[in-house]
Amino acid sequence: MYEQHYGLSDRPFQLTPDPQFYFESASHKKAMSYLSYGLNQGEGFIVITGEVGAGKSTLVAHLMERIDTKALTAAQVVTSALDGEELVHVVAQAFGLDIEGKDKASALGAIERFLQDEAREGRRCLLIVDECQNLDFTALEELRMLSNFQLGSHPLLQSLLLGQPQFRRTLAHHPDLEQLRQRIIASHHLDALKPDELEDYITHRLKQVGWDGRPTLGEGLAPDLFNATRGIPRRINQVMNRLLLLGAIEDEDTLSQSMLEAVCEEMMADQTRGAPSQASEPKRLTGPDVGTAQSAAAMSDAEDRSAELEAAIGELQAASALAHDTSQATDPEMSEAIERLEQRLEEQERSFRHVLTVLIEWLEDGNSREAA
């Protein structure tokens, strides 16, 4: 919808990886250098990690466009929670091998013969494994074993491993992965965009679809957008899609800070819609805008509870004072009224304590503390 309104040939902020929109940030440039160095070595493992949405898949798509398919045969695997035997079968299928109904040993044999045939034809083989943080330890061991295949003294398979930050930690600290660690020849963690790269990233993607300067980016929009997305490319794409749609609906030629605020509020509402109340069941949310909304809601709830508690205390004090002044402390009606007020005070105190507990637990969470 908005692409027609602004005269764009396509949507510039799609969430699916597309090498057409590859943007070489400082971190992406360094990653490509490590990849180039690793591929020139022709052996071992190259490891690229990054947060969800940091651009790992787009980086690989860009890499695949640059490789010479006459000299390099590449296969890509996107993993779920695979064990060793399952991974072997998936790798064989990724290279186009028919191993239907075969056991692990037969699948390994088929892979080795294929790699040898490719080597005799003068082609090296690259295995790209995405979402490696999902792999079982036995699957990582199978990857290491695959790297042992050789033709004479020449290794037959090189692997590029992509994963989220926890995969980097697993590789660094798992006591049984020492042999795999020794075969890592290049490693890089893909960082988010820097604040001064964000506007260039946006205009780069817009120019790929014929942007002629309409819409313009309002003053102060880029810093606010960075704060809302923390520079994660996929998050930027999500927000920009909504922002452009809002601009088209409202027929605006400038994307402003107020429009960004409206989009962020709408996205927060989408995430929290249907969730239980904060007091009864706290929900862990991440991101600065969502975190701020949750904090505000919990604080508002706490303030309401505090006001009710103070009102109950005031009523109890007033009733006690009246009983003392009129010497009616033993009057049954007055005693019953005081008892009701005491019960109400206890209930309000329990509720208030619960809200405070929710706030403390929420603030103890790392992401929530950063958002606060």
pLDDT tens figures, 173-218: 898 899 999 999 999 999 999 999 999 999 999 999 999 999 999 9
Residue 144 has pLDDT above 50, yes or no: yes
pLDDT of residue 354: 57
- Topology of domain 2-14+195-272, CATH: Helicase, Ruva Protein; domain 3 (1.10.8)
Q: How far apart are CA 282 and CA 362, in angstroms?
A: 8
Q: According to the model, what pLDDT value does residue 310 have?
A: 52
Q: Above 50 in pLDDT, residue 332?
A: yes
- pLDDT for 152: 84
Q: Which comes out higher in pLDDT, residue 299 or 158?
A: 158
pLDDT tier at 370 (50, 70, 90 boundaries)? Answer: very low
CA–CA distance, 180 with 183 (Å, rounded to integer): 5
- Angle, helix 288-326 to helix 332-364, in steps of 10 degrees: 160
Please give the pLDDT value at position 97: 94
Burial of residue 144 (CB within 10 Å: 0-12, 13-18, 19+) is middle
Q: Which CATH number is associated with domain 26-190?
A: 3.40.50.300
pLDDT for 287 beyond 70: no
- DSSP E strands in the chain: the ranges are 45-50, 72-78, 124-130, 150-151, 154-155, 157-163, 184-190, 216-217, 254-255
Q: Is the pLDDT of residue 230 over 70?
A: yes
Provide the pLDDT for residue 78. 86
Handedness of CA 138, 135, 35, 189 (dihedral sign): negative
**Confidence class for position 224, pLDDT limits 50, 70, 90:** very high
Q: What is the mean pLDDT of residues 35-61?
A: 92
Strand pairing class (154-155; 150-151): antiparallel
Query: What's the pTM?
Result: 0.69
Give the Cβ contact number of residue 198 at 10 Å.
21
